Amino acid sequence: MMKLPAMTFREWDGPLTSDLVREPAKFGLGQVPTHLMPDATTKAICGFCSTGCGLKIHLKDGAAINLTPDPDYPVNLGTACPKGWEALSALDAPDRARMPLLHGKEVDWDTALRYFCDKMREIIDQHGPEAAAYLSTGQIMFEEMAFLGALAKFGMGMIHGDGNTRQCMATAVAAYKESFGFDAPPFAYSDFEESDVLLFIGANPCIAHPIMWQRVLRNKRKPEIIVVDPRTTETAMAATQHYAIKPKSDLTLLYGIAHLIIRDGGLDTAFIEEHTSGFDEFMLFVAAFHPNRVADETGISVHRLVHLAQTIIHGTPRVSLWWTMGVNQGHQATRTAQAIINLALMTGNIGKPGTGANSITGQCNAMGSRLFSNTTNLLGGHDFRNPRHREKVADAIGIPVERIPDRPSLAYDQIIKAADAGTVKALWFIATNPSHSWIDQNEINRILDKLDFVVVQDMYCSTETAKRAHLVLPAAGWGEKEGCFINSERRIGYSPKVRRAPGQALADFHIFRLISHYWGCDDLFRGWSSPEAVFRVLQRCTEGQPCDITGIDGHEMLQKSGGVQWPLSREQRPKFDVSVSKERRLFTDGKFYTPDQRAKFIFDEPQAPPEQCSNDYPLILMTGRGTSAQWHTETRTSKSAVLAKMIPEELMLDLNPLDASRLGVRDGMQVRVISKRAELTAKARLTTCVSPGEVFLPMHDSRVNQLTHASYDPQSRQPSYKHSAVRVEK
């Protein structure tokens, strides 16, 4: 690493500083673009989940006043979930951060930025580049993510930075990279409509991704819809088959299904021989997962296991397999995701309409984070450890290669552990609220309170994490800035700025731009003058990669085309016709991104979850999405009076009637839910949607993650939120 020049902030106090901070209008900060004419309509991509719905924004006097779903956008086709309809309401909340806050008191931007740089530089100078880290998000535009990652690592000299994408999508990344050679979800949303069999494992799209579920309902092939989930979720209720497995027995189940497919002649031997590697070893491995063993470990009868395998066999070649947090948030999550991939490979269900091993992403821009956050991957899906990759990215950006670290960041949980050990002394949080969302909440809050410096950059000054911060930087939200998101099907979509941010809040992009100047490294980012300018830089970073986007003609093409799925290289561009290429899938030629272009069968022996039930804690707690009106920590959705009417007024604990009878608990009674770490009070909701011995709490309540047991998948470092031991008392 090149050592940063030893200089104080005050050496960089110049005309640009005063212009940007004191007269931001000169630079277009805090203003709606002039091309948005009064009483017009423009288009945007929703900023909540990874579905990436298109919205029509209705303007009056150049500012957004209302929105409707875009009937022409190929993702949602004129529909929107409750969150999408209410997207603008979050911008008007009274607790918006309007001015920088230093130790709880309002200060101007000049003071805030001087303090930020002086404090961060002091910590890095005294304790080294590993002493400060950032934790980002899948909620901001990828041009902003890239600016943050480049600024922190190439400009400020940090080594470590991760994002809350680690909580939702790290498993899919790790699984795809090992199996396919690159983080490459292969599907298009049209596959929902073109499958004969849809298998959902640990996924509840009825609630978590309602517009994707609408695409399933458009399927005219009368498909079999199979749900594998311990709970009888809303999706399970609508399915043709539901397999209520024991919590975290999914890996055993999937190996058992592979065993039956082999036994009963369901293999696509031509595909296996021509396009995969490692199948012979995999076949020997799953020979041990005979039906009686699998039935005992999963709670699913042999008869039903055979029926599930036969449904897949007879559905070939149009079987699609889908997973999300029920798989990703597990102690063996990566191997479970790869067990799903193995099923697709062994039956040849990939690269064709209605097929695929398909990870449904979580946040609106988690896919953008995976490619461009510059955390554990170098920009554009490159490897920090590869000298050629570092040289390529340095050349694309125009920076000295010595400024690029030669190793990836620690993962989120490892950064938190380093903070507890005293190695990390400063954390900078951008658009994320881990004091609420991170697993074993009391532990992370104890650690945050030890740090020398905590910075929160967010729309709101009222989040649990912001209340712990020494410095709060007020950020603009979705609709108050411009940039691009990438959705679950790899579609890049553009969102414009349609409103002014309140007070002196600035777009994250412009905050990073200011910090680069105050730090004294703005020469490195002189060409990063706007989100579109950064988009052009990132295109160069992707050249030759599986995610190559050099063929996209900037933001304007994205607006006009209804978004573009990656890849679209410069060479592909002349053959690309938007009118006939609205949805594209990967691996149609059977060639993968591994050195030998073959997909790999990867497997491992199932292990028991780290925390087991006991006499004191006899129930398994599962957590997940509550309703389609709620989003994560409800930082935004709680601001809508409309959405508030769609959720329970109290925290509800789903409890099986047999357990309730044993405990003497009646429906609607207040109960205590107790783990080894904490306890909370909730209202009991008696339901057979959870099996005896299991309970469920929605993740949105600020107290729920006090209960959860902190364990992590060894490959992806993703937390396991789905298996904690608790007891329930009246």
pLDDT band, residue 418 (cuts 50/70/90): very high
CATH class of 41-88: mainly beta
Summarize pLDDT for 260-304 with one digit per residue, the tens. 999 999 999 999 999 999 999 999 999 999 999 999 999 999 999
Q: Which residues of 140-178 are buried (b: 16+ CB within 10 A; e: fewer)?
A: bbbbbbbbbbbbbbbbbbbbbbbbbbbbbbbbbbbbbbb
Q: Collapsing DSSP states into helix, strand and coil, what is residue 121?
A: helix
**Sequence-ordered list of residues with C-beta below 8 angstroms from that of 439, at least 6 positions apart, any chain:** 705, 708, 709, 710, 719, 720, 721
The two structure tokens encoding residue 669: 């009674």
Left (φ > 0), alpha (ψ -120 to 50) or beta: where does 5 sit?
beta
pLDDT band, residue 661 (cuts 50/70/90): very high
Looking at residue 17, its pLDDT comes to: 36
Looking at residue 673, its pLDDT comes to: 98
The two structure tokens encoding residue 718: 């993703």
Q: Which pTM value belongs to this model?
A: 0.94
Q: 């209960």: which residue's tokens?
A: 707
One-character DSSP codes across 599-656: EE---------SS---SSS-EEEEEE---TT--TT-TTGGG-HHHHTTS-SS-EEEE-
The share of the chain scoring above pLDDT 70, in percent, equals 94
Summarize pLDDT for 69-106 with one digit per residue, the tens. 999 999 999 999 999 999 999 999 999 999 999 999 99
> What are the extents of the domains in the chain?
9-26+94-167+365-575, 41-88, 170-359, 619-729
Looking at residue 143, its pLDDT comes to: 98
Asked if pLDDT for residue 21 goes beyond 70, the answer is: no
Fold of 619-729: Barwin-like endoglucanases (2.40.40)
Asked if pLDDT for residue 140 goes beyond 80, the answer is: yes
Summarize pLDDT for 526-548 with one digit per residue, the tens. 999 999 999 999 999 999 999 99
Looking at residue 38, its pLDDT comes to: 53
Looking at residue 230, its pLDDT comes to: 98
Least confident of 45-49, 317-321, 578-582: 578-582
Summarize pLDDT for 359-385 with one digit per residue, the tens. 999 999 999 999 999 999 999 999 999
Asked if pLDDT for residue 331 goes beyond 70, the answer is: yes
Looking at residue 22, its pLDDT comes to: 42
**Are both 9-26+94-167+365-575 and 619-729 of the same fold?**
no
Amino acid at 432: T
Asked if pLDDT for residue 693 goes beyond 70, the answer is: yes
Return the CATH number of the domain spanning residue range 170-359: 3.40.228.10
pLDDT band, residue 427 (cuts 50/70/90): very high
Q: Span 414-435, mean pLDDT?
A: 98
Contact (Cβ atoms closer than 8 angstroms) between residue 51 and residue 212 = yes
Contact (Cβ atoms closer than 8 angstroms) between residue 339 and residue 606 = no
Q: 């697993």: which residue's tokens?
A: 439
Name the CATH code of domain 9-26+94-167+365-575 (choices 3.30.930.10, 3.40.50.740, 3.40.50.720, 1.10.3720.10): 3.40.50.740
**Sequence-ordered list of residues with C-beta below 8 angstroms from that of 645, at least 6 positions apart, any chain:** none
Rg (CA), the chain: 25
Looking at residue 197, its pLDDT comes to: 98
The two structure tokens encoding residue 616: 């004191």
The two structure tokens encoding residue 196: 């004969």
pLDDT band, residue 30 (cuts 50/70/90): very low
Looking at residue 29, its pLDDT comes to: 38
Angstrom distance (rounded) from CA 718 to CA 715: 8
Asked if pLDDT for residue 157 goes beyond 90, the answer is: yes
The two structure tokens encoding residue 284: 């020997």
Give me the chain's average pLDDT, please: 93
Asked if pLDDT for residue 34 goes beyond 50, the answer is: no
